[in-house]
Amino acid sequence: MFRLDIRRDPSIFRERKKFTGMARFTESLRDRAIILFLWTTGLRVSTAMGLNYGDIQEEFEGGEEFVKVPVYPEMKKRVLDACKGKIPYYTFAHPHAVRHLRIYLRRREAKYGPMKQDYPLFHSDWHHWEREERTKKRLNRRSVQRTVKESAKLAGIEEWESVTPHCLRKAFKSILRAPTKDGGRLDEGTQEFFMGHILPGTQDEYYDKDNVEFHREEYSKLDFSLDGENLEFGSGRGEEEPSDILVEEDELSDYLEQGWKFLEKIGDGKYIVTKRDPS
Q: Give the model confidence (pLDDT) of 230-244 as tens digits.
A: 444 443 344 444 566
Q: Is the CB of residue 223 less than 8 Å from the CB of residue 180?
A: yes
Q: Is the model more confident about 231 or about 164?
A: 164
Contacts of 8 (CB under 8 A, 6+ apart): none
Residue 7 has pLDDT above 50, yes or no: no
Q: Is the CB of residue 176 less than 8 Å from the CB of residue 184?
A: no
Closest CA to 100 of 4, 237, 229, 210: 229
Distance CA 224, CA 39 (A): 9
Hey, where are the domains in the chain? 10-220, 244-274
Distance CA 28, CA 45 (A): 18
Check residue 133 and give its pLDDT.
Answer: 87
Q: Is the CB of residue 226 less than 8 Å from the CB of residue 96?
A: yes
Closest CA to 55 of 110, 103, 135, 122: 122
Q: What are phi and psi of 273, to 5 degrees?
A: -115, 160
Check residue 65 and give its pLDDT.
Answer: 94
Rounded mean pLDDT of 61-72? 97
Check residue 165 and give its pLDDT.
Answer: 95
Residue 69 has pLDDT above 70, yes or no: yes
If you average pLDDT over every residue of the chain, what do you get?
A: 85
Helix axes 29-41, 165-177, angle to 10 degrees: 40
- The SS3 of residue 242 is coil
Helix axes 141-154, 16-24, angle to 10 degrees: 100
Instruction: Compute the C-alpha angle 72/226/102, nearest 5°.
Output: 55
E strand or H helix at 89, and its extent? strand 89-93
Check residue 132 and give its pLDDT.
Answer: 80
CATH 1.10.443.10 fits domain 10-220: yes
Number of CB atoms found within 10 A of residue 201's CB? 8
Choose the weakest-confidence range: 127-131, 156-160, 240-244.
240-244
Check residue 238 and give its pLDDT.
Answer: 42
Distance CA 228, CA 105 (A): 23
Task: Name the pLDDT band for 5 (thresholds 50, 70, 90).
Answer: very low
Task: Name the pLDDT band for 229 (thresholds 50, 70, 90).
Answer: low
Q: Is the CB of residue 18 less than 8 Å from the CB of residue 155?
A: yes
Q: Is 23 exposed, middle or buried (0-12, 13-18, 19+ CB in 10 A)?
A: buried
Q: Is the model more confident about 132 or about 65?
A: 65
In the sheet where 261-267 sits, what is the strand order? 244-248, 270-274, 261-267
Distance CA 29, CA 32 (A): 5
Choose the weakest-confidence range: 7-16, 38-47, 181-190, 268-277.
7-16
Distance CA 157, CA 19 (A): 10
